[in-house]
Structure 1
Amino acid sequence: MGSKADKAVFTVTGITLLTFLIASRVGTIWVLYPNVLIAVALFIYCIRQIDEDALLLSNSSVFGLAMTLTYLPMDWLFSRKARLIFYLRSDFLASVTTPIGIILNWVVFATLAAYCYQRFEMIFRVRFVDESDDSQVGSIGIGVLAATATGIGAAFGSVIIYGLGASHLWVWNAAQVDQMPQIASVPAFVPVSFLLTFLLCPYFFGVVGKAKDASGSRGYQHVGVAGIRCGIFMGALQFFSFLLFYVWK
């Protein structure tokens, strides 16, 4: 994992963690924008390189944008109606429930997750699958391994990011739902939903059920459609998880 795209992803991941650590200390949302600018600059630089990893990063960016736009209505429901989360800082558009800086960072998060899944799949395929074995079972198995690694990483990452932002950028459980289990001040259903959502990456990207086409290859779902699928599933999963706690409070 030494390509320019890999290094860019590692760099953006580190800067993102540092950014939210700083935001947790200074309590301002404006510090989130440099992180987005750095991520965009590095991603564009890598995408302009003509290699396979650049294509992965380009596809991941489309996935991240599609997933975020699809998830936004659910976040509006959580923050404006259910009052599950309350944002403490506004930026350019005060009338928008979710600050623009946070939305843009969501795109970065989703892009990183999608890239990790596709990169893990490439690595596991080279390591565990014989080139002569092109069966669908082998493809699904590799997809599941990659999705498991990505889901675990996304779950831990959600606890860290949402935990750092708590009480400075947002407040969880503003509706005061009783007996809501938490992990480091983050509702437990948040990392669980990230884990379960990215475990379904083989479905989102179309690995499951894909037959060979005329050229003999097994195509993938368009990354934009994959992002929409992912956003819908994550939003629905979080909604029903919250509803379960709310009804039983």
Structure 2
Amino acid sequence: MCTKTDKAAFAVTGITVLTFLIASRTETIWMLYPNVLIAAILYIYCIRRTDEDTSPLESSLVFGFAATLTYAPMDWLFSRKVGLIFYLRPDFLAHLTTPIGIILNWIVFVTLAAYCYLRLTMIFRTRFASESDTPKIGAMGTAMLAAGVTGIGATVGSHIIYALGESHLWLWNAAQVDRIPQIASVPIFVPLSFLVTFLLCPYLFGVAGGFLREQHVGVAGIRCGIFMGALQFFSFLLFYVWK
């Protein structure tokens, strides 16, 4: 059953893609702020005004903030020191950090991915439940299935967003490492890092009733940020050494 929160998540996803499409055409980073505002309004409305269970959304928001705040210093390293990515349209604190508008949109992205995983886990658990005491698919199985769908969605979504912003909002491979394979001007290890990271959602969050102990969503978010940053950095380093 599609809840009001699900509909809000779908709306935020569509608006986000549209926002980056417009931003890439107008080549202005300020277009990213309305997307964050709309997402915040919809999320707050769902949490405060709906009578349904909003715990997946609340947990996803904590996860999104934790993952983004953990990853942001690594992105500063990538952009300022390593030359993995160069931002073409600075906003606030241009010489100190990644553009604030992009960081805020990262929170939106990661929140959507986490919400997708948590909701799919709930849906699959209900879908594959049986009348007997033994479900058709165990807790680990439903978590892995949800992680697979989430990983694929995060891979496709991240590639679309990064491809839209390429040469308009940022420039990948500013260090000019020739051996990095690309798909639509996006280094292949970028969408792959999203795929691998969100395939590991059962490890990041833990699984109730499984052998992976459940983690606080904040801890799960920190794990996500560290793992994604490390995966991108070592992938880049591998190609850099081979250049």
Q: Quickly name the TM-score band, shorter chain normalised.
A: over 0.9
Determine the C-alpha separation between the residues in 2 that align with 1:133 and 1:140. Answer: 13
Determine the C-alpha separation between the residues in 1 that align with 2:135 and 2:7. Answer: 30
Q: Which residue of 1 aligns with 2:233?
A: 239
1:92-241 correspondence to structure 2 within 5 Å: 92-130=92-130, 132-133=133-134, 138-207=138-207, 210=210, 220-241=214-235
Secondary structure of the residue aligned to 2:29 is coil
Is there any run of 5+ residues in structure 1 with no aligned partner, and where?
212-217
Secondary structure of the residue aligned to 2:171 is strand
Name the % identity: 72
Q: 1:190 to 1:3 in 2, by over 3 A?
A: same
Secondary structure of the residue aligned to 1:171 is strand
User: Which amino acid letter does the alignment assign opposite residue 134 of structure 2?
Assistant: D
Q: 1:206 to 1:150 in 2, by over 3 A?
A: same
Q: Which moved more, 1:32-41 or 1:94-103?
A: 94-103
Secondary structure of the residue aligned to 1:14 is helix
Using the TM superposition, give the Cα deviation of residue 134 of structure 1 relative to its aligned residue in structure 2, in angstroms: 6.4
Q: 1:219 to 1:196 in 2, by over 3 A?
A: closer
Deviations 1:74-127 (A, max 9, x none): 101110111110000111222233000000000000000000000111111111
Determine the C-alpha separation between the residues in 2 that align with 1:129 and 1:240. Answer: 41
Assess if the C-alpha contact under 8 Å between 1:202 and 1:208 holds in 2: no
User: Which amino acid letter does the alignment assign opposite residue 235 of structure 1?
Assistant: G
Q: Which residue of 1 aligns with 2:13?
A: 13
Q: Which residue of 2 aligns with 1:55?
A: 55
Secondary structure of the residue aligned to 1:98 is coil
**TM-score in terms of structure 1 length:** 0.92
Is there any run of 5+ residues in structure 2 with no aligned partner, and where?
none
Assess if the C-alpha contact under 8 Å between 2:128 and 2:135 holds in 1: no
Determine the C-alpha separation between the residues in 1 that align with 2:164 and 2:225. Answer: 23
Assess if the C-alpha contact under 8 Å between 1:205 and 1:226 holds in 2: yes
Determine the C-alpha separation between the residues in 1 that align with 2:128 and 2:164. Answer: 37
RMSD: 1.7
Q: Which residue of 2 aligns with 1:66?
A: 66
Q: Which residue of 2 aligns with 1:75?
A: 75
Assess if the C-alpha contact under 8 Å between 1:87 and 1:97 holds in 2: no
Determine the C-alpha separation between the residues in 2 that align with 1:228 and 1:129. Answer: 31
**TM-score in terms of structure 2 length:** 0.95
User: Which amino acid letter does the alignment assign opposite residue 239 of structure 2?
Assistant: F
Secondary structure of the residue aligned to 1:31 is helix
